[in-house]
Structures are given as C-alpha cells and as structure tokens.
A and B are shown apart, each in its own frame.
Chain A
Amino acid sequence: MFSRREFIGTSGVLLAGASVPEWADAFQPSVTGDAVRAEVAEAALARAAQLGAAYADIRINRYRRESIATREQQVQSVSRSNSYGFGVRVLVNGAWGFAAANQVEPGAARAAAQQAVAIATASAPLATRKVVLAGADKVVTTWTSAFRRDPFEVPLETKIAFLLKLNQTALVPGVSFVSSQVLFADEQKYFASSEGSRITQRLVRTYPQFTTTAADRATGDFQTRGVVDRAKLLGYEYLEDYPWLADAEKAGHEVVEKLKSKPVSSGRYDIVVDPSQLFLAIHESVGHSTELDRALGYEANMAGTSFLKSTDAGTVRFGSNIVNLVGDRTQPGGLATTGYDDEGVKADRWHIVRDGMFVDWQTTRELAPLVGQAKSHGCLHSDSWASVPFPRMPNVSLQPAATEVTLDNLFADIKRGLFIEGRGVSSIDQQRYNFQFGGAVIREIRDGKLGAMVKDAAYQSRTPDFWASCDGVGGPATYQLWGTSADGKGEPGQTNAVSHGCPPARFRNITILNTAAV
C-alpha cells in the first residue's frame, strides 16, 4: 500500500535523470533482491509462528504484462503493467487466514501475518473440520519455464509489425473487420513456508489471438471466426516459429465462407472434433468434474459441484476404453505447467482416466488426505499475490492412439457427420453433466469425405454419454496443445491459464442443434 511518509517526503520533486525503478529492481537476480525477499518472508513466518500459527507460507510475486491491441491497420492500445506484493497464509486451530499487501518490506509482512492470524482466529470456531495438510518435501530451489526469447526484450515495433501484418493477411476480400491482440506475461514468484521450503520461479507466457468478422450491411447479417486459444508457456519465439500468417489467411477465407454457408439441419450426427474445439470439451467436462474440491462441495456456491462423488475414484466408468486422460503440470508449453505449485509441491503427471475408468482426482495438500492420499498432486494456485491460493486445474490432456490414426481415418466410415473446429459458445451445468458447445468452423462429412461448411450448429450431450460414445482418437502426429487463458473459479473470482492436449476424436450419434431455429 502507498506509504504516506514516503509520498509526503518527495511529492512535487521531479527526480532528474534515470533511476532504477522499484519493479525492475525487485526480481533481478542479485544477492540484494534475494536477501530482501528472504528478509520479508522470514519476518512474516516468524510473526505467524510467534502468534500461534501451526503452519504459514508466503508468496512474494511480481507480475509483468505487456499487451498490444490492434484492429485492421491501426494500433488501438499498447499497455504494460506491473504488480508486486505478497500474500501470507496461516493455519490457526485448523482454520485458514490470509492477508496480502503491496508493500514488500518486513514491517508490512509482520502486520499482514498478524492480520492473517486474527482472521484465522475469528474463523476457527466456525471451521468445524480442522485442516490437515498432506506431507510435502522441503524444497530449496529455482525453476524457470522453457523459453528462448524474452518477449520483454523484443522491440515494440517488431511486435506491432507482427500484428499489423497478420491483420493485413486476414483481410482477404469479403472480410469486414479483423482485430488482433498479443499479451506477454512474466510471473516471478518466491515461495517460503514455515516447513523450510524456499522456491524461486519464473514463468513466461505468450498469448496471441485474432478474430475476423464478415458483415453483410445490406441484410444486417454477420459472422465471426476467432482464433483465441493458442496461448502457450513460451517466449517470443512462439510468434516467430509458428505459421501465424497462414492461419490468419485461412481465418479470413473461412469467415467469408461462413457468412454464405447454409444452416445446419438439426438431428443426430457422428462428429469428429478437432483439437481446437476438443480441448474446450475436455476442459469443461473432464477438467472441472475431476476437481476434488468441487466433489466435496467447496465450490457449491459458485462454480458448482461434480457428478462424480468423492468416493468414485477407481469405481466409476468415465468413457469408452480408448479414453485416457492425464493431469500434467510438466507438459512442455502447457499454460498450467510449473516447477512447483503454490504450496511448494513438485509438478506432477498422473492418470485421471485410465482405459475409460475414472481413477484419480486433482488434489492439493489440504485435499489429498480427504481421499486417503499421502501426497498432493500439486494443484494449488493463486492468480495473484493478493489472492488466496486454492485448487486449480492442471493441464488435462487426452492421450493419442498408440498407432498413427489420421483425420481421414476418423472420417472414413462416417455416412452423415460433422467436423467441428475452433471455439464456439460453450456452456455446461454446475455438476458437469449437460453441455452445449459450438464451433468456429463446422463442415459436413458425407460418406467419409469432408464437405461444405454449415453454420448455426452446436453439439449437445451429457458428459458420461459423450465420452462413452468416443470410438476413435487420432494418433501421435495429430496431437495438439490448445489452451484457455482465463478460466474462472472461486470467490472472489480468480482466473487460471490452462492447456489441454489432444488428438482429434470421433463421437457417435450426438445431438446437433440449429441454434438459429430455436
């Protein structure tokens, strides 16, 4: 928080020359920076212990972001932001307390620890089941996500030129508007716990996205084609290595074709879902239903519960026996990939669904003992130093077939079907049963061959039925990683970036709606 003393002492004085900004200094690798964080952490942990906390931890995090937004051939905005602060979490009499502030200095850390203890103490009589944490290793280490080119070192002109070229390429005849954005995020995190862990991490993500629009002014009709889910845990090299311009041109042609396409006929179809859409179906129907906190009712007031009960692991069939889904916080490029979670547990990879059977949950140190597990899978996360860390989804990915199954192989025996690509509307109930998903581009499949584009289509199913109807998944060469950059959960609401890898997959006899005819 703003220091009145500091401000009054300097207001009205313009400092001459360049000074080292606080934020730039804060996380530079230096003995001083490490020492400051260590001192702040020790102050908070010592105060918490002194006041009777059985456990305490602190996250001292800095978030640096840069975003550029354009439309057609103009730049709408270029913005940078920095946020630096800490959050202290304590356990007192089996109840959590949390306090956060933006002054990273020992006095503020002690005050926050005291506030957190006071909050926990006030809550403890109402915490009728006491929190017990699964064991965790003491870890002292540093971890950095894999990237080759720091986006914050790339000249702004280069980034703007990339977006304007992309827009120009997407503006094929018939396209009325194109908008594009790129966001770069740099998370620098320091974690310390009363159990002795001290972990410094840095994660760099690149979020490019664009949308084309075709509008027919005479009829008032319009269509859009968004490519918005390609963010990855990578640096600027992601914008240089991937053929974005080819995607942009394709999105331009697709939106023009979409405006002229015929509406879908409602009914039952066999569908093949491309990774660019299937990732979202996995996210909503598998990712959220296998969060243990939901099954235990922790999210009942907002995100909801789950159709799975906390006793279901190992006993309930989730899908057909070719369905294998893993939770994976180690997946290269994955938005939820990390070295250690926000309570210092090493990133894990584990089966959630094996051969169609639901076998395991997403867990944290608090949740794991509630299903008889000694170790957390490492799913604790907070979206800011100011947010209470809580269970968040790891990358959850569908495993490809062992052999090389191509997209054409999946189409081959379909008489009447649809091939669904990209993000459309998505909606699912609070226990993750009934869902309705659209697509950005949907084409007919006739007698095993891809046909014309159709519009106004959405597929609707029930999670267990949908995954039971899966009778084909693509091979390793068809596997792609897509991701959502702002998955909401919790109160106060927090966002999480998470990826889902998958091959295209085939589902039989699925209900298709014509959404323009309802």
Chain B
Amino acid sequence: MLTRDDALKICEVVLAHAKAAGADDAQVSLNSSVESHARFADNRITTSGRAEDLDVTATVWVNRRRGSSTGNLSGVAALQQLAGDATQIARVSPVQREYIQTLGPLEYSADRGFAAASADVDVTARAKALDGVLATCRAAKVTAAGFHSARGLATAAATANGNRRFFQNSRAELSVTARTADGTGSGYFSGDHFDVARLDAQHIAEQAVGKAVRSRRPLPIEPGNYPVILEPQAVSDLIGFFTGAFDARTAEEGRSAFSAKDGKTHRGEAMFSERLNLYSDPMHPELPATPATDEGIPASRLSLVENGVIKNLRYSRYWAQEKQQAPTPGPVNYILESTGAPASMDAMITSMKRGLMISRFWYVRVVDPRTLVLTGLTRDGLWWVENGQIKNPVRNLRFNQSVLAMLAPWNVEAIGPAQRLAPYMVPALKLSSFTFTSTSDAI
C-alpha cells in the first residue's frame, strides 16, 4: 500500500501532465491495495493467495469535454501517458452537459477504519485460526467450506482546483458454511471487522456448526404468508436493495420506488415503522467509513429515515446544483436501528405464536423496482417457531416480498440490536407478515 506522500505525489504528477496537455480541469484518483485470502472446502484449504495492485484514474476536461483513463502502472512515462490519453479522449468527446467544476480544498475528518495487520496478514497465524475452524467442524462431523480474507486499501485524490485527500481502510472477514454428513443440514455464519485481530474465528465456526446441526432433516412447509424473525444476516441480505433507492435523481425523474404521483417524491412521508432510523455516519465506532463520499464531499452523519419518515434522499453534486440544494454528505455506510431499546432475540422468539425464523437469504433480485418487490430464497437455516419456541427446521422457501411493505408501520413488531455486517449495521427484525410463493428442495 502506498503512503500518503507517495500516493499524492503520483496524483500531482498526473495533474501536472494533464495541465501541460491542455486540460482546463482535472481530477486524479488512486487506489493502492493489498489483499490476502484463503478458501477452504471439504474440510481442507483449497486455494489461497495474495495480490497487490494499484489503479490511477485521470479524469480531465477540455472546454467542458470530458475524458477518463485508468492504468495500474506508476512509472513517469505511464503517468504521462495516462494524462495524455484522458486529454485526447476529452478533445474528441462532445461537451459534457453535466460537467461540474472539480472540488477545491476541503477539510476532512481523520479516517478511523484501518488496521495495518489486515493489510499484511500473517499467513501462519491465519493457518492456525483456520485449523481451529476445521477441527471444530470435524469434531461435529460436519463438512466446512469458507473464506478468510483481509484487505488494506489506500485511496487518494487530487483536483486541479486544489482538493487533496488521502484515506486508508481495511477489512477482514471470515465466513463458514457447515454441512451435515447426511446432506440435510446446512449452517452459515460470518463476521467482519476492519482489524483482522478482532475476527473471532472460533465463534464464527461454532455458530455455523450449530445452525447446520439444528437445521438437519427439515420438515415440509407450504408457501404462504407467515410472521417471521429475520436474523441480522437475513436483514443485511435485503437491505442493500432498500438503501439503493435513496437516490434523489431517479426518484425525481419518476423511476424509483420513491417516485410519487405528479412528479413528486415520497420524501417527508411516514412510509416505515416509526421505531426505525436509517442513517450514515463515517464516525460510527463499530462501522467507521471513509470520511468522504465518492465525489469527495466531506461525509458526516446523514439521516435517511427518521422515526419511519423519509428524511433525505442522496443528491450528487450535479443533481444538487440542478435542484439548488447542497450535495448530501453521504451516505458512506448504512446503520439501521431501533429508535428505542432493542429487543433481544429470545424476546422475539418467546413472543412469537407461530412463524418462521430465517438465517439468511440467497440470490435476491428486484422483481419490481416500483414497489421494491424482491425475490430470493431462504438458505442455511429456516425454522418453524410455535408458542414461543423453535420447534423444527423446515424446507427452504422462495419469497416474493416488497421491502417497502416489509418495513411498513403495520409490519414491524420488534427490532433487535444492530450488528456489524459491513457496509451495514443491521438488527434482527420481527415482522407480522412475509410472503413465500414456492418451496425449494435445496439444502
């Protein structure tokens, strides 16, 4: 990974070449990464590797005409070529109607989500941790598959108007799928943190094994509408489709789930449970994020849903200018949480008369962008709950469910404590109704 000085020097060289080539405005962005991983399956390591890379992107404007070029070499000739190539593209491109001047100098908060150990993994220590995972699985007579990954990333950007920024972040994750020998049970659990030392491999393995064993020999179940408890993993599998709808431009252009009649949007409406907040916060202690948006706007706490009301939509720099608003200082991460004291998982189960408890969803896709109806399947743990107790595992189901209706005031019964599943902090949710349309034979 490049240091701040080396990264910004590369940016300066490209800027200088862009100016010399005749660019009126320019931005250089750079990513320098180191990634290490190990995969395992069939209770053994299958592949493991390490990769270093760099990418440098020059984006330039000549008379409001835009060109962009990306390369992964840092020699001076390559950087000159990069600037020249971008400028050449700009010269032959039409005027970019949505051009907006690059940013000037801005102050950014210090980043908090980087641990050097994640960028330079000790492969022997990793092998020891994975040996423990595999031993736990063998002892339980389940077959483990999984993935351990750790990555460090340095990002830098510089503009012709004087903006300079440099951030570092890291992420380490471990996920384990345990499958029982008879092929009827499967469990999955994952954890992630920016510091590889904070991954609790043993806990992750034990959770996956427990789910596999408890999901053995599932009983048939009819599709239909059921009350459900979604574990945090299941919520995180859906929530990206929801957060993706918070774009002001598509909503105002009349082509998103937040578009309303007569060219309006649903901003300001109480569409969701009043006990739900959704916000972005780069300084969140459990989920620190880069303190700048992709466009370089300094990030700060941004409320998207407050007490169930759509508080803000995301305005890019261009769309904000069009609509005479300020660009939004995010989102850079998403935290979905209860406005009040969260409910425990035990409380959710004991209060459920009859319904389903869901570990995880798989292959989720948007069926209808107007209502955010999603389809997908349950996977790696689905249980029938009756009179406050988990009774038995059941066969997997396919759902067709609107995520807007899922979070509606009448549907959210209880909200658990939010847990980190980057880029989200999400709670378990207890919901009155969830629509399943067919059964699946898959384990």
Contact = CB atoms under 8 A, between A and B. Distances in A.
Interface of A: 1-4, 6-7, 10-15, 18-24, 74-85, 87, 95-102, 115-116, 118-120, 122-123, 125-129, 155-157, 160, 176-177, 213, 215-222, 224, 296-302, 304-305, 307, 386-388, 390, 425-434, 436, 438, 456, 458, 460, 462, 491-492, 511, 513, 515-516, 518
Interface stretch (B213-221, B328-336, B394-402): B394-402
Interface string B411-443: 000000000000000000000000101111111
Contacts of B442: 304, 307, 429-434
A128 B261 contact: no
B74 A298 contact: no
Contact of B78 (A21, A456, A515): A21
B270 interface: no
Given A10-B75, A115-B50, 8 more contacts: A1-B74, A2-B6, A4-B6, A75-B96, A127-B46, A160-B94, A220-B260, A299-B41
The 9 closest A-B pairs by CB, nearest first: A98-B49, A21-B81, A81-B70, A300-B145, A2-B74, A431-B442, A434-B440, A429-B442, A518-B400
B365 interface: yes
Contacts of B17: 14
Contact of B365 (A15, A156, A425, A430): A425
B51 A297 contact: no
B42 A126 contact: no
B45 A123 contact: yes
Contact of A222 (B80, B98, B124, B254): B254
B198 interface: no
Given A100-B51, A156-B89, A492-B37, A14 B16 contact: yes
Contacts of A12: 12-13, 16
B71 A516 contact: no
Contacts of A518: 373, 400-401, 435, 437
A353 B394 CA distance: 32
Contact of A126 (B20, B86, B131): B131
Interface of B: 2, 6, 9-10, 12-13, 16-17, 20, 32, 35, 37-55, 57, 66-78, 80-81, 84-86, 89, 92-94, 96-98, 123-124, 126-127, 130-131, 134, 143, 145-147, 149, 175-177, 179, 186, 188, 253-255, 259-263, 362-371, 373, 375-377, 379, 396, 398, 400-401, 435, 437-443
20 contacts: A4-B6, A6-B74, A7-B74, A19-B80, A78-B93, A80-B70, A82-B72, A83-B55, A100-B51, A119-B123, A126-B40, A126-B127, A176-B255, A217-B254, A300-B177, A301-B41, A429-B377, A429-B379, A431-B443, A433-B441
B127 A74 contact: no
Contacts of A78: 66-68, 89, 93
Given A6-B75, A298-B42, A515 B363 contact: no
Contacts of B373: 515-516, 518
B81 A23 contact: yes
A208 B437 CA distance: 35
A27 to B, nearest CB: 13
A516 B371 contact: yes
A95 B76 CA distance: 39
A22 B73 contact: yes
B263 A300 contact: no
A326 to B, nearest CB: 26
B87 to A, nearest CB: 12
Nearest to B376: A427
A215 B253 contact: yes
Contacts of B49: 87, 96-100, 116, 119, 388
Contacts of A18: 84
A462 B255 contact: no
Nearest to A99: B50
B33 to A, nearest CB: 9
Nearest to B3: A4
B77 A297 contact: no
A222 B93 contact: no
A517 B59 CA distance: 46
Contact of B53 (A386, A434, A492): A386
Contacts of B134: 126
B261 A219 contact: yes
A98 B80 contact: no
Contacts of B52: 1, 100-102
Contacts of A14: 16-17, 20, 80
A218 B439 CA distance: 39
A433 B124 CA distance: 40
B104 to A, nearest CB: 23
Contact of B68 (A79, A99, A221, A511): A79
A511 B149 CA distance: 41
Contacts of A222: 254-255, 259, 369-370
Contacts of B38: 123
Nearest to B89: A78
A286 to B, nearest CB: 16
A85 B48 contact: no
A506 to B, nearest CB: 22
A77 B86 CA distance: 11
B368 A515 contact: yes
Contacts of B44: 126-129
A434 B35 contact: no
A306 to B, nearest CB: 10
Contacts of B127: 122-123, 125-126
Contacts of A6: 74-76
A238 to B, nearest CB: 22
Contact of A11 (B13, B54, B92): B13
Contact of A491 (B39, B69, B377, B396): B39
A102 B51 CA distance: 9
Contacts of B41: 296-301
A304 B72 CA distance: 33
A84 B73 contact: yes
Contacts of A431: 441-443
B422 to A, nearest CB: 15
A224 B74 CA distance: 42
B121 to A, nearest CB: 10
Contacts of A215: 253-255, 259
A160 B93 CA distance: 8
B437 A23 contact: no
Contacts of A96: 46-49
Given A23-B81, A99-B51, A429-B396, A125 B131 contact: yes
Nearest to A213: B255
A82 B45 contact: no
Nearest to A386: B51
Contact of A156 (B45, B81, B93, B401): B93
A220 B435 contact: no
Contacts of A123: 38, 45, 48, 123, 127
